[in-house]
Amino acid sequence: MAGAVIINNELLDTGDLPGCEIGHMVIEKDGLECNCGKRGCFEKYASMKAFKNNLRKALGYDETFSGKELLALIKNTNKEDNNYRIIQKVKKEFIENLALGISNLVNIFEPEAIGIGGSFVYFEEVLLNDLKEELLTKNLLFNPRKEINIQTAVLGNEAGIIGSIL
Ligand SMILES: [Zn+2]
């Protein structure tokens, strides 16, 4: 989960080092171990990979159950189905973590827009509204907002980016 910050149409210059390691912002003290060597990194909780893996695990599927199949399952499961509560629980947890990390960035940069890429783009229809609602109504923002501009398609699905556009 790589990130970028764009200020006045220019990428934030972090010098010789890559910087903007948004995925490795710690959101849980002594949390899950990350492959960067730290614990509690944002991407361990709020990357699409984490979401899909958590969902597969909770539903009893292995990694051969594709993202496409997961999306279809989320869309076609209604309240009467046994899986409904499981899906809602995993989704809620994911949205809470994603919103927490994004709120940290919003509070620092007060961006005009936030861009999210990666496979979030495919899941936009089942995640984006919940993400916005979480950000706007859960007392996460230092400066409360009525609206939040989250762009998905712009960055495409290859980028794997969460960026803040100022
Ligand atoms: Zn990490």
Tens digit of each residue's pLDDT (9 = 90 or more) over 37-73: 999 999 999 999 999 999 999 999 999 999 999 999 9
Quickly state the pLDDT bin for 142 (edges 50, 70, 90): very high
Q: In this structure, are residues 160 and 117 in contact, taking their beta carbons and an 8 Å threshold?
A: yes
Residue whose token pair is 């990390």 = 101
Distance 83 CA to ligand 1 centre (A): 31
CA 38 – ligand 1 centroid, Å: 5
Q: Which domains does the chain have, with CATH numbers?
A: 46-165 (3.30.420.40)
pLDDT at 163: 60
DSSP string computed for 11-41: EPP-TTS----GGGSB-STT-SB-TTS-BSB
Q: How far is the CA of 40 from the centre of ligand 1 (A)?
A: 7
Residue list, CB under 5 A from ion ligand 1: 24, 34, 36, 38, 41
- CA–centroid distance, 81 to ligand 1, in Å, is 36
The SS3 call for residue 44 is helix
Q: Virtual CA dihedral for 117, 123, 124, 127, nearest 10 degrees?
A: -110
